[in-house]
Amino acid sequence: MISKYYFLLLLLFTSFIVTSQKKFEPTEEDISLAKELSNSYPDEDIALLKHSEIIDFDYDKKADKVIVKNKFEQEFINLKSRTEIPLFIGYDDQSKIHDVYVNHRNSQSAGIRFKDEYYNQEELFHSDARIKWAGLNFPLLGYKYTFGYKKKYKDVKYFVNTFLDSYFPIVQKTITVNIPNWLDVEIREINMDSISVKREKKQIENKGITQYTYTIENVEAVIKEENSIGPTHYRPHLLFLAKSHTKNDTKQVLLNNTKDLYKWYHSLVLQLNNDTESLKEKTLSIIENQSTDEEKIKAIYYWVQDNIRYIAFEDGIAGFKPEEAANVYRKKYGDCKGMANLTKQMMKIAGFDARLSWIGTRRIAYDYSLPTIAVDNHMICTVIVNDEKYFLDATEKYNPLGTYAERIQKKQVLIENEENYILDTIPSNISKNNIETVVSSLKIEEEKLTGTIKRKYEGESKTDFLYNINNLKKDRKTEVLEYYIGRGDKNLVLDDITITDISNRDQDLHLSYHITQNNAISSFENELYIDIDYYKSYQQLDFDKRKTAFVLPYKTLENTSTTIEIPEGYIVKELPENLSVDNKDFEISFNYKSDNNKIIYEKNINFKNAIISKTELSAWKEFHKKLKKQYQQQIILTKE
Amino acid sequence: MFTYIQLTTMKKTSNLITIIIFIISFIHSIAVYGQLPKIDSLEEYIWSENDQYAELPTIPDKWKDESAIIILSDYDYYYFKGNKALNTFLITRKIIKLNDQASVNAFSEFDKLGQNKELIVKIIKPDGSVNVIDVDKEKVESSESDGTIPIAGGFIRKFAKKSKLAIPDLEIGDIIDFCIYYKEREPIIGVLEAPSIRDVISGEYPIMNYELDIHSKKDFFISIKTENGAPQPMDISPEKGKNKRYSFKMKDIEKIDPIMWEYTLLDAPYVKFQIALEKDKRTEAFVGEEKFKIKDNVTDEEVLNYYKGITVFDHGYKGSDKYLKDKDFSKKQRIEEAYYYMRQYYLNQFIEAAVAYQNDLTVDNPFQFYAFPKYITKELKFINYYASFLREEKIPFEMIAAIPRSQGKIDDLLFPDDITLFLKINLNPEKPLYVSQFGNHTNFNYIPYYLEGNEAYSLETGKGHRLETIKKVMIPVSDYKRNNSNQQYDITFVDGFEKIKVFRKSELKGHNKVREINDRLNSLNFTEEDHAKYNTKRLYDRLKKKRNKKKYEKEFPAFKEKIVSVQKESYQESLEEELDFKIEDFSFEVLETGRYNIGDVLSYKEEFLATNDLLKRAGPNYLFEIGKFIGGQIAIEEKDKGREEDIRMTYPRSFNNTINLTIPEGYEIAGLDKLDVEIKNETGGFTSNHTLEGNKLTINTFKYYTHNYEPNTNWSKMLEFLEAAYQFSQQKILIKKQ
């Protein structure tokens, strides 16, 4: 009897599995839909059929904070034969994740277990950022899952924006924002011109909320390209500015304007005890032999650059509050805020008016007209001498006083000023100040080019070079320098390398060496073919498929002049044609001439704005075709 | 500490036993903590009054330009027995002078600190002041997971809070003195030996003092040996008591730079050792006669006895009987066919199940559909099975125990870990045959290339099934012609000179085939063929239940399709790397697998478009970098031309290339004289020649390395042909408008 029941139970169980298994598998409709979507998005493995995000605001009476409840649900479909993707949800000390689920298409749980770990980013030594993550396997074309979770922000201040697009193409997405009548939240729409958005606004009287709905359809996946500008520059998103609330009939200001933002930042600074006794002796010894203000500022600034290791921390409130200067001094490491604070306190000891200053690097599209913590991501120190301001970013190693890294140029800076603040802008640089000059004097020896090359680095090209060379192992410097120049090409033999003082950031850097470039000349019958441009710079910058702006590390100007002696008995048969281009972002020219017994080749490359903007991408694509052809062209010498 | 069992991968009920065993052993390992050598304070223990390095020695002037100098590199291994498990703890201390920013960066952070990894650090400033770092205060939490521990059928995640530390106040010119105490090294119950340890002493920084101490017990066995000029270890144990201590010290050690064609273990000083608990046939160590006495060599007899204890050549293996029955095979064919049958029966027939298990292609555990699945993944098991078969067939054989050339010589043998076993079959003593453990695509009559040319042990049975004799033999070295890659290119220009269309057919044999076959073949393409050939059942045919069948028949083809597309991408990447230029419109097809005979080639064809980076305009003419088609060649830098070390390569090998270029109409070729080269000497050679017939230019090149080893005196000879091959790879021809 028992075995009979057992059999029945087993049978029931088995049939249940068969049925449910079938329920997970894609239907014919799902398969056709997947094929259709795969045609529309051939490079994508997964699409989001439906994506809904609901944003609700609430009031935490106990903490006296406005909180945010963010609910997500995404329906994925597989566009390929089999795909595996990682699912991840980021959170930190200011947010919590709950009710995470992954379901099959029949709403039955897929039994996915999420791991919960610190999110280790290479550039951050320590951060409170955590992720819940799991791998999700789509075994068949058209396979679907629904993935949902809730995220709760403990304070509306930390809820800054939400993006409309996704890393997967979207068939339909809806963002619903329910703003209660007691809360004043402004929703800023940013970069929305790039997609078509259906907007809806309605009052839900019985709940006392205003509901905003944003719907998008058939949107391509976020473009994943290297050297891109930050996402807030080009991705469509909503920025939330929570200004005030009137819960319990009392108006309470949150972040209504820049002053409120400053007030909060400043309140964190006021919490510092600024006991700088331990810095005194060192600071005074640094400026001991300096007579002018500028010399003193320079001495302290360079000392912090050289002696404090930059280690990034982002840990809860420590992500906004600087470390005590004494601690940074003791540890000899710190993040940007810690380094800025140490610079400030040392400057104060030296008798200067020094202030902490908040700034958003060029990665961030916002400015201080927006009262949100998303507006900045960096801190520097401003020293005011008479009416002149010195902006000191000690995280920029080998940066001379008075020059500013590309990433902060032209950016607004919010300078500490007791109860108020000063808003200023970091001066901009021009590419000419970063010029890298290469002068080569070469002659032909059989199938080789030999001669001397002199290079000069100024501005950020120099800073970049100094940083790299000074971080190399001492015993490997010559070897690595050779590699840096020759890029590992075995056809190059370098001798007599000389370099000026690599610890002096105030002088231009000069590098010279003797070169033998094997296989640079091809001789056929009575003719010599010269491949004159060894580096063929920017040949690899192939933007055939690129869609977003390309960011360069700094405004680059490379002037190259190469002179080749024409060997006796030869005359020039053909020189490549000159080539030039000039537009908003880049100005490039190639010029060739022969003069008596010499060939002179001059190449000037100028990326004026440290970027090839989206609007100039097609100009670059067109020029790049010519550039590749240019580099293929040979100089031909023939026997007289 | 909390143990978390990853249920997703542990879902199969058959793994319950493993889980149970693990939990028991885990609890056990905690219990062992009670018997740790008691160190109340690591700081007091290391930086005690007796610290020999309380006062630091003067750094020699010759190293003033080094990035860092290791003043002390000290290792103290502690072995002790607890509840039948052999436990290992390690205390390691380093004192390092930091001379530049690179070395400050290298030693400025420590991670994975936790209950089992304790750290103490002090910084000695140039003025002599000492700053002891308060690690507990300065560290920050970094993770909660200690990674995963694989166990049969799944893995277990151990949760333990881990921290990391950025060293405060560390500057160029400082001396960092740190010590790490590793308190647990995965003790396993029932294992009678600790893992063997080999430490190459020299590294990227020069070392003033290297010290290694092994603390064990009187009733433990110990093997220690030093090589390549390292001094002998000493027994410095106290006269009384149960404790033993062995010590090894070395001074003034220069840094080493890795160089091509060199085996570090044959040149750099190193120390190796192993501790064993018992002299037992279950002990995977060569154990001496006397406990605690340093054993620094292994005798022939010990090797014989060791293998006598673990080989079983009367296995009664009948596996291939059915397959071989009624087949009219010669003796040689029988043993060869038996090898391939075993490859299928004990390994490849489970490929589908392994793939299905790993990728969830069936509802139930696919291995349960094999009545008593017997798979061979261990070398010794293979040797036992195949040798038993040879005995039954009454075919004389020897078991060869060899160590890879990169690990040293057989006379330096100290651990069984280093040994690779294979069989030499003396069917015809003049032409012996060889078999080694099978893999998915391995062949009969093959010796792994890394063993070739090394002396090894040959062990033979007597009349019975036990090994009885041992002698030393030399493992033959294969011929460079046998290890050959033959590639043929057909090149045409399309769209004027816009693009270059390339067809390439590759044929590989010998070691060149073996090294590439696993990457080139997709095992899933051969399962059907092998099942049919050897009459084994497909996984699909084993699936009885509808739920498994349905899931598998849908998901397996989708999985296979995915693998094919991923493989294609990786082939394209590897081809771009090989040829050193970008390609597009790539296609790939295997023509012959070479899976059933060592003499058969693995051949495949590739078609692609090369972008015109290889063409350079010269007025109406074009320079074409035709030399690039022989693949990237080794270019020896000036500084390496004066090499002082011997040259140790993988194996003798050869490469043929045929390049057929169709010359576009209206053009002719100049510069052909440069394509004819001949450099040959005893170490190898590079030759190339060309023919021009109508509009077809054919270039044939041949590069070969005669041996797997050349003495340093032959380096200049090698340079001759290496340079010739490199220069050819840089060669251009002129495609000239008529």
Of B448, B364, B360, B356, residue with least CA distance to B400 = B448
Q: For A18-22, A160-164, A388-392, B159-163, which range has the lowest pLDDT when averaged over its residues?
A: A18-22
Domain ranges of chain B: 2-296, 321-474, 484-523+545-737
Chain B touched by A278 (CB under 8 Å): no
CA angle B592, B598, B601 (to 5 degrees): 30
Fold of A44-253: Immunoglobulin-like (2.60.40)
Q: Which residues of B touch A81 (CB under 8 A)?
A: 557-559, 561-562, 565
At A146, the amino acid letter reads T
> Which helix (H) or strand (E) segment is A630 a member of?
helix A617-632
Chain B touched by A109 (CB under 8 Å): no
- Binned at pLDDT 50, 70 and 90, residue B481 comes out as very high
CB contact under 8 A, B559 and A490: no
Q: How crowded is residue B582: how many other Cβ atoms within 10 Å of its Cβ?
A: 14
**Token pair for residue B183?**
């308190």
Q: Closest chain A residue to B160 measured between Cα atoms?
A: A117
CB contact under 8 A, B730 and A519: yes
Q: Cα separation of A415 and A355, whole Å?
A: 6
Residues 446-475 of A with CB under 8 A from B: 470-475
Q: Cα separation of A492 and A449, whole Å?
A: 10
Q: Cα separation of A535 and A603, whole Å?
A: 11
pLDDT of residue A640: 86
Q: Cα separation of A333 and B407, whole Å?
A: 43
- Give A159's Cβ-side CA count (13 Å radius): 26
User: By three-state DSSP, how is residue A357 classified?
Assistant: strand
CATH of domain A431-639: 2.60.120.1130
Q: Cα separation of A1 and B287, whole Å?
A: 61
Distance of CA B703 to the CA centre of its chain: 26
Rounded mean pLDDT, B182-207: 83
- Binned at pLDDT 50, 70 and 90, residue B10 comes out as very low
Q: Cα separation of B629 and B489, whole Å?
A: 8
- Binned at pLDDT 50, 70 and 90, residue A22 comes out as low
Span A461-475, pLDDT tens digits? 999 999 988 888 888
CB contact under 8 A, A126 and B142: yes
Query: With pLDDT > 90 as the criterion, what percentage of chain B qualifies?
Result: 66
Phi, psi of A60 (to 5 degrees): -95, 105
- Binned at pLDDT 50, 70 and 90, residue B65 comes out as very high
Q: Cα separation of B164 and B121, whole Å?
A: 13
Span B569-589, pLDDT tens digits? 999 998 888 877 788 999 999
Q: Which residues of A touch B170 (CB under 8 A)?
A: 309, 332
- Give A612's Cβ-side CA count (13 Å radius): 23
Query: With pLDDT > 70 as the criterion, what percentage of chain B qualifies?
Result: 91
The nearest CA of chain B is from the CA of A256 a distance in Å of 36
User: Of the candidates A112, A331, A632, which has its C-beta nearest B615's C-beta?
Assistant: A632
- Binned at pLDDT 50, 70 and 90, residue B15 comes out as very low
- Binned at pLDDT 50, 70 and 90, residue A131 comes out as confident
* Pairs across A and B, CB distance < 8 A: 145
Answer positive or negative: Cα dihedral of A339, A344, A347, A349. negative
A478 vs B155, residue with greater confidence: A478
Of B721, B703, B709, residue with least CA distance to B646 = B709
Please tell us whether the domain made up of A258-425 is placed in CATH 3.40.50.300.
no
Chain B touched by A18 (CB under 8 Å): yes
Given a contact cutoff of 8 angstroms between Cβ atoms, the answer to whether B675 and B731 are in contact is yes
> Which helix (H) or strand (E) segment is A638 a member of?
strand A635-639
The nearest CA of chain A is from the CA of B363 a distance in Å of 9
Q: At what angle do helices B527-534 and B331-346 cross, to 10 degrees?
A: 130
User: Of the candidates B102, B142, B734, which has its C-beta nearest A471's C-beta?
Assistant: B102
Chain B touched by A14 (CB under 8 Å): yes
Span A555-592, pLDDT tens digits? 999 999 999 999 999 999 999 999 999 999 999 999 99
Which of the residues A447, A632, A638 would you substitute to probe the B interface, choosing the one with the greatest number of B C-beta atoms within 10 Å?
A: A632
For residues B195-228, one letter each, b for 16 or more C-beta atoms within 10 angstroms of the residue's C-beta and e for the rest, the string is bbbbbbbbebbbbbbbbbbbbbbeebbbbbbbbb
Pairing of strands A126-127, A313-314: parallel
Three-state helix/strand/coil letters over A595-607? ECCEEEEEEEEEE
Which of the residues B2, B5, B156, B546 would you substitute to probe the A interface, choosing the one with the greatest number of A C-beta atoms within 10 Å?
A: B546
CA B418 to each of CA A452, A633, B402, B410, B413: distance values in angstroms, whole numbers, following the listed order = 53, 57, 8, 10, 8
> B34 CB contacts (<8 Å, ≥6 apart)?
none
Q: What is chain B's mean pLDDT, rounded?
A: 87
Q: Which residues of A touch B105 (CB under 8 A)?
A: 309, 471
pLDDT > 50? residue B8: no
Q: For A445-454, A614-623, B628-637, which range has the lowest pLDDT when averaged over its residues?
A: B628-637
Q: Which residues of A touch B555 (CB under 8 A)?
A: 82, 139-140
CB contact under 8 A, A476 and B67: yes
Given a contact cutoff of 8 angstroms between Cβ atoms, the answer to whether A431 and A557 are in contact is yes
Answer positive or negative: Cα dihedral of B565, B569, B572, B574. negative
Burial class (CB in 10 A: 0-12, 13-18, 19+), A343: buried
Q: Cα separation of A330 and A430, whole Å?
A: 38
Span B667-696, pLDDT tens digits? 999 989 889 999 999 999 999 999 999 999
CB contact under 8 A, B169 and A83: no
CA A408 to each of CA A379, A392, B11: distance values in angstroms, whole numbers, following the listed order = 10, 11, 53
- Binned at pLDDT 50, 70 and 90, residue B397 comes out as very high
Q: Cα separation of B649 and A563, whole Å?
A: 44
Burial class (CB in 10 A: 0-12, 13-18, 19+), B71: buried
> A28 CB contacts (<8 Å, ≥6 apart)?
none
CA angle A49, A54, A57 (to 5 degrees): 170
User: Of the candidates B360, B565, B732, which has its C-beta nearest A522's C-beta?
Assistant: B732
**Which strands sit side by side in the sheet containing B733-737, from one edge to the other?**
B615-618, B621-624, B733-737, B667-670
User: By three-state DSSP, how is residue A490 classified?
Assistant: coil
Span B626-660, pLDDT tens digits? 999 998 888 888 889 999 999 999 999 999 999 99
> A573 CB contacts (<8 Å, ≥6 apart)?
A527, A636, A637, A638, B619
User: Of the candidates A137, A472, A490, which has its C-beta nearest B360's C-beta?
Assistant: A137
The nearest CA of chain A is from the CA of B68 a distance in Å of 9
The nearest CA of chain A is from the CA of B109 a distance in Å of 9
Span B95-146, pLDDT tens digits? 999 999 999 999 999 988 887 889 999 999 999 999 999 999 998 887 655 4
- Binned at pLDDT 50, 70 and 90, residue B327 comes out as confident
CATH architecture assigned to B484-523+545-737: Sandwich (2.60)
pLDDT > 50? residue A13: no
Residues 140-169 of A with CB under 8 A from B: 140-141
CB contact under 8 A, A139 and B558: yes
Span A43-96, pLDDT tens digits? 999 999 999 999 999 999 999 999 999 999 999 999 999 999 999 899 988 999
Look up the ipTM and state it.
0.86
Q: Strand runs (DSSP E) across B83-200, as ranges?
A: 85-98, 109-113, 117-124, 130-132, 140-151, 154-166, 175-182, 197-200
User: Of the candidates B67, B168, B547, which has its C-beta nearest A333's C-beta?
Assistant: B168
Chain B touched by A22 (CB under 8 Å): yes
Given a contact cutoff of 8 angstroms between Cβ atoms, the answer to whether B136 and B69 are in contact is no
Q: What is chain A's mean pLDDT, rounded?
A: 91
Residues 52-81 of A with CB under 8 A from B: 80-81
Pairing of strands A95-104, A144-153: antiparallel
pLDDT of residue B191: 80
Q: Cα separation of A244 and A264, whole Å?
A: 14
Distance of CA B12 to the CA centre of its chain: 32
pLDDT of residue B495: 83
Q: Cα separation of B671 and B661, whole Å?
A: 14
> Which helix (H) or strand (E) segment is A565 a member of?
strand A556-565
pLDDT > 90? residue A253: yes
- Give A38's Cβ-side CA count (13 Å radius): 15
Pairing of strands A436-445, A556-565: parallel
Q: Cα separation of A474 and B702, whole Å?
A: 43
Q: Cα separation of A288 and A299, whole Å?
A: 10
pLDDT > 60? residue A12: no
Q: Cα separation of A87 and A166, whole Å?
A: 13
Q: Closest chain A residue to B146 measured between Cα atoms?
A: A117
CATH class of B2-296: mainly beta
Query: With pLDDT > 70 as the criterion, what percentage of chain A qualifies?
Result: 95
CA B259 to each of CA A54, B267, B270, B648, B711: distance values in angstroms, whole numbers, following the listed order = 60, 11, 17, 11, 15
Q: Closest chain B residue to A113 measured between Cα atoms?
A: B8
Pairing of strands A309-310, A333-334: parallel
User: By three-state DSSP, how is residue B499 classified?
Assistant: strand
Query: With pLDDT > 90 as the criterion, what percentage of chain A qualifies?
Result: 80
Tokens 């690129």 correspond to what residue? A546
User: Of the candidates A17, A113, A525, which has its C-beta nearest B8's C-beta?
Assistant: A113
Domain ranges of chain A: 44-253, 258-425, 431-639
Phi, psi of A445 (to 5 degrees): -130, 110
Residues 288-317 of A with CB under 8 A from B: 307, 309, 311, 315
Chain B touched by A531 (CB under 8 Å): yes
Three-state helix/strand/coil letters over A395-464? CCCCCCCCCCCHHHCCCEEEEEECEEEEEEECCCCCHHHHCEEEEEEEEEECCEEEEEEEEEECHHHHHH
Q: Cα separation of B19 and B3, whole Å?
A: 11
Rounded mean pLDDT, A320-340: 94
